[in-house]
Amino acid sequence: MTERSEAVDAFTEAADRLREAAREGEPCAPVRDLLPAGTAEAGYAVQEINTRRALEEGRRPVGRKIGLTSPAVQRQLGVDRPDFGMLFADMACLDGLPVPAGRFLQPRAEAEVALVLKGDLVGGPFTVADVIRATDFALPAIEIVDSRVAGWDITLVDTVADNASSGAFVLGNTPVGLYGLDLRLAGMTMNLRGREVSTGTGTACLGHPLNAAVWLADALGGGDFPLRAGDIVLTGALGPMVPVAAGDVFEAHINGVGSVRAVFS
């Protein structure tokens, strides 16, 4: 067996491990032991296998999530850049309506700014002005992050391979245009049953949520899945993520952007 075919087999084995964990509802061992390269590129090769499988099953892609935008989380995982994962329509949950907690393995909630695009971002490199022109409106969002890896025992390659540890997302229902909106200074508070559990501002997201969006556009612009009109972009957490349990009710408010609730049945 050649070195290349061994690598392909390792990618497939890692993809199978994560896919089986999701199907069976049982967290698995990390996949880094299967990937000798241990790089982000190896993780994306695994992620793409399961992305293409999802597309073949008829799941509809609706955008991307950006992760690892917080300097503190980057230091924790020993990385110096964000990562990204695919969003599918069946991951979208409705504002204020019950989300079955049992559909997740190890859920955590985090609040962030979502952008909805009205134009394509193909090619690149891009500027902030390009991203602003391509954005239709912003929404507040609660991302429900989840890991198929037991105990959240992840490195960069594990989370990238696991679709950037994505689970689901809830969008607010009142769109806000970017004109005159300073997302860098936008303060965020997230409450759990009225108790404040997470705070932050736009500066926690690569200094500005639009910086994260530019990074994502550049990363995807030359590939098979660039950002397209209608896509949702979850730009990254504005504060610490919080563990989720059945019965929890989270409400996040982002100044200038609005509020959103995630209710777990």
Q: Within a domain: residue 8?
A: no
Q: Within a domain: residue 20?
A: no
Domain interval for residue 77: 61-264
Q: Within a domain: residue 222?
A: yes
Question: Which pLDDT score is estimated for 34?
Answer: 95
Sign of CA dihedral 197, 201, 206, 209: positive
Q: Within a domain: residue 27?
A: no
pLDDT of residue 2 exceeding 70: no
Give percent of the chain above pLDDT 90. 88
Q: Within a domain: residue 43?
A: no
Taking the mean position of all CA atoms in its chain, how far away is CA 105?
16
74: CB partners within 8 A, 6+ apart: 68, 80, 81, 82
Question: With helix as H, strand as E and coil as C, how does the chain read?
Answer: CCHHHHHHHHHHHHHHHHHHHHHHCCCECCCHHHCCCCCHHHHHHHHHHHHHHHHHCCCCEEEEEEECCCHHHHHHHCCCCCEEEEEEHHHEECCCCEECHHHCCCCEEEEEEEEEECCCECCCCCCHHHHHHHEEEEEEEEEEECCCEHHHCCCHHHHHHCHHHEEEEEECCCCECCCCCCCCCCEEEEEECCEEEEEEEHHHCCCCHHHHHHHHHHHHCCCCCCECCCCEEEEEECCCCEECCCCCEEEEEECCCEEEEEEEC
Taking the mean position of all CA atoms in its chain, how far away is CA 121?
19
Q: Within a domain: residue 28?
A: no
Q: Within a domain: residue 254?
A: yes
Domain count, the chain: 1
pLDDT tens across 138-170, in order?
999 999 999 999 999 999 999 999 999 999 999
pLDDT of residue 243 exceeding 60: yes
pLDDT tens across 37-63, in order?
778 999 999 999 999 999 999 999 999
What mean pLDDT comes out for the span 234-246? 95
Question: Which pLDDT score is estimated for 141?
Answer: 98
d(CA 190, CA 246): 17
Q: Residue 88: give its domain's CATH number.
A: 3.90.850.10
pLDDT of residue 1 exceeding 80: no
Q: Within a domain: residue 47?
A: no
